[in-house]
């Protein structure tokens, strides 16, 4: 998947192989942010992330990343 997309655009993949699936429309836990659904391309785990964190997220299941906001 493309890594040159905007970090909140579906299809964006960060350097840790976390892909943005969609904007859930829910308010995030950071000021002015929305919750995005991310999917780990390594293990398939899907979880929530503030849009401002998408570029740096690691999978909470297989990479020791922090748990994000609820989907």
pLDDT at 5: 76
In a domain, 67, yes or no: no
**Does residue 13 belong to any structural domain of this protein?**
yes
Domain that holds residue 17: 1-56
Segments of 1-71 assigned E as strands: 18-27, 34-40, 46-50
Residue 25 lies in a domain: yes
* Residue 34 in domain: yes
For the entire predicted model, the pTM comes to 0.92
Query: What average pLDDT does the segment 14-32 reach?
Result: 97
Residue 24 lies in a domain: yes
- Report if residue 61 sits inside a domain: no
69, part of any domain: no
Q: What are phi and psi of 51, to 5 degrees?
A: -55, -35
Instruction: Write down the pLDDT at residue 3.
Output: 58
Q: How far apart are CA 18 and CA 62, in angstroms?
A: 11
Do the beta carbons of residue 36 and residue 51 sit within 8 Å?
yes
Number of domains making up the chain = 1
- 28 token code pair: 């995030």
In-domain check, residue 71: no
Locus of tokens 């997220």: 57
């Amino acid at each position: 998947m493309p890594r040159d997309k905007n970090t909140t655009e579906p299809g964006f993949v960060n350097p840790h192989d976390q892909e943005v699936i969609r904007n859930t429309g829910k308010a995030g836990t950071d000021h002015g942010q929305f919750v995005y659904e991310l999917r780990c391309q390594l293990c398939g785990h899907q979880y929530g992330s503030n849009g401002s964190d998408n570029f740096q997220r690691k999978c909470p299941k297989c990479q020791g990343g922090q748990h994000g906001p609820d989907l």
